Structure 1
Amino acid sequence: MAEPVREFAVWAPTPGVVRLDLDGVAHPMDRGPDGWWRTAVPAAGDARYGFLLDDDPVVLPDPRSPRQPDGVHQRSQLWTPPAPETGWAGRALPGAVIYEAHIGTFTAAGTLDAAIDKLDHLVDLGVDFVELMPVNAFSGPHGWGYDGVGWYAVHEPYGGPDALIRFVRAAHRRGLGVLLDVVFNHLGPSGNYLPRFGPYQSAGSNPWGAGINIAEENSDPVRAHILDCALRWMRDFGLDGLRLDAVHAMIDTTAVHILEELATETDELAAQLGRPLTLIAESDRNDPRLITPRADGGYGLTAQWDDDIHHALHTAVSGERQGYYRDFGSLETLARTLRHGFFHAGTYSSFRRRRHGRPLDTAAIPGHRLLAYTCTHDQIGNRATGDRPSDYLSAGQLALSAALALLSPFTAMLFMGEEWAARTPFRFFSSHPEPELAEATRAGRRAEFAEHGWDAEQIPDPQDRQTFVDSKLDWAEPGTREHARMLALYRDLIALRHTEEDLADFRLDRIRVDYDEDARWLVLHRGALAIAGNFGPDSVAVPVTGELVYAWGSPRVGASATALDGESFAVLRTTTPQGVSGRGD
């Protein structure tokens, strides 16, 4: 039986001649006026192919390769997505709890299929979405995934595209949505052949290398490359949304920003599919335009990460002040951030040595458009030794920060293992096969950590495979007494978040925060619920009272105040929904 005729196409305006290499046989291609080369030839559904540019005998992978079975330097392979799944209505973001995971270290095997076996743990925990760190194809067997070069392909050591399909459908059967971290702001240094094809990269640069050409000459096909990739994950793989890495590094000077364009097309796809789709930006600009509706002049993204919330919480419990933490640490800072979403909102940032951010309209933007977290892959992995908060905070401090993040008016996010206070580190690791890249990575990490005052000798070698192995979760830990207690706390807090009516109100202008800097207590009021926390080591009387709903420690509720143990919290149902009198924000 003859193989079906398939069309092969590639945008390659730079070379003068492009040929298709199909299973080792070269075929001529025709160039169109738009820089696209096309040909149609018989091919099996799993055929290996690539492109020959000019007189170079080296076969290059397809920039839109759906699969790289032998790595990012070898031929691509055809792959056809299965028929769409049925019966999944999707999940909306408001009120949700997200669980961030790295496939390579989430389980001992480090594959998508192995991760399926842990989905019941997430269901029992009560989370709503699992967010996968990048799974696009990158060079080497293991890494964080942010050095991807095959944006359309799934990293083969994780199981390839079919394994991602299996994972998404297994999650959906359990009622879990799946989000995917995608990187459109730069390309990795190993296996990046796109400049050979055309002007995919810009003249400018960002901290990770050359930027992406989304606004310079011949940028329209590059923008389409990004948009088609993003929509493909949600359409062909059934994903429920994307986390967009470091969007501040996507420099777009056109009248319609590419993020706005992506949001528009994502909404159209959601309407076609009949289920909600989510776009979450990572941005360090504190710019409300990202999450402001397009009708009101914004980009219309669903939500964005909010590092100010993390910094305010982390410094309040840890006392750390190095690097970008230097403007944080007081309860006043924490109170302002909980109430207003951003701490830096047109205010001076001593770390940046300039004004930073813009005020958020708390009457118009609900809190669920901001993500709150006590740790992320960045906030752990970008420490010198990849140590988690559980390595240097007390159980009470961990519990207190978890309560404020999970019971806050923001979308909550956990990082894998946080829920049981995992003691395994999450370090930065890579596996560049080129010696010069390996050494450049080592030197870059040493220089970056020196800026934070860490000793370079403490930094594990990112190229050492043991650094990767040490970062794998230990799934025996949740069964031990110390970790089981923390896991029970997280389950209880997430259950409260999902069942208490007052916690479903995300209007930031309804939030009140009272605090006493000297006594080290803070109360977050959400309707009739008061989350009272003691950040100090000694017992303190907090001027709030009511019915005790939940607690860490042994609170004593009195007629006019509640006594809290050091480093503890209590959730109270009060009769004064707007909070108590006293110093507040």
Structure 2
Amino acid sequence: MQTSRNYRVWAPFPDDVRLRLNGTTHPLRRGEGGWWESDIGIEAGARYGFELHDAEDGWSKTLPDPRSASQPDGVHGLSEAVDTSFGWRDDAWTGRILPGSVLYELHVGTFTPAGTFRGVIDKLDYLRDLGITAIELMPVQPFGGDRNWGYDGVLWHAVHEGYGGPTGLKELIDAAHRAGIAVYLDVVYNHFGPDGNYNGMFGPYTSGGSTGWGEVVNVAGYDSDEVRAYILDAARQWFSEFHVDGLRLDAVHSLDDPSAFPLLELLVVLAQEISSTTGIPRTLIAESDLNDPKLIMERSAGGYGLDAQWVDDIHHALHALVSGETHGYYSDFGTTGALAKTLEEAFYHTQDPSSFRGRRHGRWIRRDVTPASRFVTYTTTHDQTGNRATGDRPSVNLTPEQQVLKAAVIYSSPYTPMLFMGEEFGATTPFAFFSSHTDPELNRLTSEGRKREFARLGWDADTIPEPAAPETFDASRLQWSFSVDQRRILGAYRTLLKLRREYGLSQSDLLTVEVDHGEQWVSMANGHARLVANFGDTPVEVPHGGRLIYSFTSPEVGDNSTLLDPWGFALLSR
């Protein structure tokens, strides 16, 4: 199939650019704005790359297309032209708005034994029955090697071949929509991965300085218009060609963008335009550690207008209180008071001193105008599990009662809940950090860098699995045979998510949420129910009673008080 497009590439840096197509070299003509163009039409299946020539330094390299849609031979190989048509069968799909949604974060390579999009398709019925309404895929753009979390992606318009390539992703999204499940992609626009990143040889895709993971992407510096277009066109492709329902934007605090019309706002405009044109809502969720409500404030009020952001403070408060860990960034948490504040206000640090940062941090939200659904909260994520020394999940260190207690808090809150794959049955397999860069030196530097970072945070660096070792990846695959306790936990998760729907716990008005606490307990009234929870290893009486809806243990419920077992909770009618 031949398309109406011709080969072209933005490459203002080299002196000459030629097209390498199916083993033959063709000249390109220099156009305006640093673009090089050919009169040759693109034909699906063709293998091609661009030869870059620099007269002064005397080098010549053949590289993949920065806008490649397919890399069958990996990030160092030639690009493949693809047929973008697909036999979609999701005509009945009308989309899902974020309020009321339940998200499920997963890594395609370790979610199933197959490690592919097809493997995820085989689990869609399971996810739907659990109560999931949207899956969030960790990044699926190509990376160096075969194994990676995905945050080292380098070709932002393509899909990792090992997962099933672009066609496999479309098949997953089509199947998910027919199962009533939305699909979000985690995308990384703040840095390029270190393995196979050739974009800087074409043009000024980066601007110097480091995010900690790679060079800062040039979204606001000199000659940045085409870099912005590169990102916006990738987002448009996911929404339009791939029918993606939403994007999770990685670490937006690392974007260096002081411009009057920031990239984040441009992404919002794009998402709203496509939503309006198709009638299907498109969602943008940011990851940020700034505790800045400007991200989710309406554009008319001076914000960026994003639909939601991850909120780590609720996780930190809940994790520290149940696990007892208060080192590193958990240092300000670990009390029922801290948890109560986050349940009521989303952020803990609202221009309060942060001992971990050594300064005041964050800003308060307007509870009267900020819907709770704009905060995505969780008991754990890929980061909170994988960025531990051994990648150990909370389930390895907690009892079933403690695990379900944490879930009950999250699913009884008005915020948008997200599960991390396997937590719903208390998976005991680790989710360690893994990568398989094609350059041995990169693997060595990655390993040493993680050991330094863990030492800084107080972890024992000697316990860290080698990221490049195949067994680190293999050990992180979910195991789908359940123990008796795991079946109990899975049953509790299903019940809690069912009750969340039935009792209106996803209502999004923060002013109606009532939170109070004692030294050992927390109470949260929301929707048509009240959660009372014991965060201690001794029984406690909570001054709230009612009719028992659900508990994982055996509380004694009265009209005015509830006696809770250690690490127990009760969901009561209001």
TM-score, normalised via structure 2 length: 0.97
Could you tell me which residue of structure 2 aligns to residue 198 of structure 1? Answer: 203
Could you tell me which residue of structure 2 aligns to residue 114 of structure 1? Answer: 119
Amino acid at match of 2:564: L
Q: Of 490, 514, 517, which residue of structure 2 is paired with 1:515? A: 517
**In 1, Cα distance between the equivalents of 2:129 and 2:527?**
28
> Does structure 2 retain, via aligned residues, the 8 Å contact 1:6–1:40?
no
Could you tell me which residue of structure 1 aligns to residue 374 of structure 2? Answer: 369
Displacement after TM superposition at 1:395 (Å): 1.3
Cα RMSD (Å): 1.2
Correspondence 1:57-68 to 2 at 5 A: 57-68=60-71
Amino acid at match of 1:483: Q
Q: Does 1:157 align with 2:157?
A: no
Amino acid at match of 2:384: Q
Could you tell me which residue of structure 1 aligns to residue 442 of structure 2? Answer: 437
Displacement after TM superposition at 1:570 (Å): 0.3
Over residues 341-372 of structure 1, what are the superposed CA-to-partner deviations in whole Å (9 max), with x where a residue is unaligned?
10001111110111111101111101100011
**In 2, Cα distance between the equivalents of 1:441 and 1:86?**
45
> Does structure 2 retain, via aligned residues, the 8 Å contact 1:190–1:432?
yes
Correspondence 1:385-404 to 2 at 5 A: 385-404=390-409
Amino acid at match of 1:71: G
Could you tell me which residue of structure 2 aligns to residue 77 of structure 1? Answer: 80
Over residues 440-497 of structure 1, what are the superposed CA-to-partner deviations in whole Å (9 max), with x where a residue is unaligned?
01101101111121111101111100000000000112xx311000000000011111
Amino acid at match of 1:108: P
Displacement after TM superposition at 1:82 (Å): 2.1
**In 2, Cα distance between the equivalents of 1:464 and 1:327?**
35
Identity value in percent:
52
**In 1, Cα distance between the equivalents of 2:271 and 2:277?**
10
Displacement after TM superposition at 1:57 (Å): 4.5
| Residue ranges of structure 1 left out of the alignment (5+ in a row) | 575-585
Could you tell me which residue of structure 2 aligns to residue 47 of structure 1? Answer: 46
Displacement after TM superposition at 1:4 (Å): 6.6
Residues 504 and 442 (structure 1 numbering): CA distance in 2 closer, same or farther, change over 3 Å? Answer: closer
Higher mean alpha-carbon deviation, 25-34 vs 482-491, is at 25-34
Over residues 254-293 of structure 1, what are the superposed CA-to-partner deviations in whole Å (9 max), with x where a residue is unaligned?
1011101110111001111110010000000011010001
Over residues 408-467 of structure 1, what are the superposed CA-to-partner deviations in whole Å (9 max), with x where a residue is unaligned?
110000000000000000000000121110100110110111112111110111110000
Could you tell me which residue of structure 2 aligns to residue 24 of structure 1? Answer: 23
Correspondence 1:149-548 to 2 at 5 A: 149-477=154-482, 480-501=483-504, 503-517=505-519, 520-548=520-548
Residue aligned with 1:13, SS: coil
Could you tell me which residue of structure 2 aligns to residue 580 of structure 1? Answer: none
> Does structure 2 retain, via aligned residues, the 8 Å contact 1:285–1:356?
yes
Amino acid at match of 2:516: D
> Does structure 2 retain, via aligned residues, the 8 Å contact 1:247–1:282?
yes
**In 2, Cα distance between the equivalents of 1:46 and 1:346?**
55
**In 2, Cα distance between the equivalents of 1:124 and 1:118?**
10
**In 1, Cα distance between the equivalents of 2:507 and 2:376?**
15
**In 1, Cα distance between the equivalents of 2:351 and 2:558?**
42
> Does structure 1 retain, via aligned residues, the 8 Å contact 2:6–2:42?
no
Residue aligned with 1:457, SS: helix
**In 2, Cα distance between the equivalents of 1:484 and 1:174?**
24
Over residues 170-213 of structure 1, what are the superposed CA-to-partner deviations in whole Å (9 max), with x where a residue is unaligned?
11110000000000000011100011100000122211121100
Amino acid at match of 2:76: H
Residue aligned with 1:80, SS: coil
Displacement after TM superposition at 1:44 (Å): 2.9
**In 1, Cα distance between the equivalents of 2:2 and 2:408?**
59
**In 1, Cα distance between the equivalents of 2:39 and 2:344?**
59
**In 2, Cα distance between the equivalents of 1:547 and 1:3?**
67
**In 2, Cα distance between the equivalents of 1:302 and 1:363?**
17
**In 1, Cα distance between the equivalents of 2:163 and 2:430?**
21
Could you tell me which residue of structure 1 aligns to residue 560 of structure 2? Answer: 560
> Does structure 1 retain, via aligned residues, the 8 Å contact 2:506–2:527?
no
Amino acid at match of 2:68: S
Amino acid at match of 1:257: P
Displacement after TM superposition at 1:24 (Å): 1.3
Displacement after TM superposition at 1:101 (Å): 0.2
Number of residues of Structure 1 aligned to a counterpart in Structure 2: 568
Residue aligned with 2:6, SS: strand
**In 2, Cα distance between the equivalents of 1:556 and 1:223?**
59
Over residues 15-49 of structure 1, what are the superposed CA-to-partner deviations in whole Å (9 max), with x where a residue is unaligned?
11111111111111111221111112145311001
Over residues 363-382 of structure 1, what are the superposed CA-to-partner deviations in whole Å (9 max), with x where a residue is unaligned?
11011000110000000000
Q: Which runs of 4+ in 1 moved over 6 A?
A: 2-5
Higher mean alpha-carbon deviation, 277-286 vs 538-547, is at 538-547
Residue aligned with 2:208, SS: strand
> Does structure 2 retain, via aligned residues, the 8 Å contact 1:304–1:370?
yes
| Residue ranges of structure 2 left out of the alignment (5+ in a row) | none
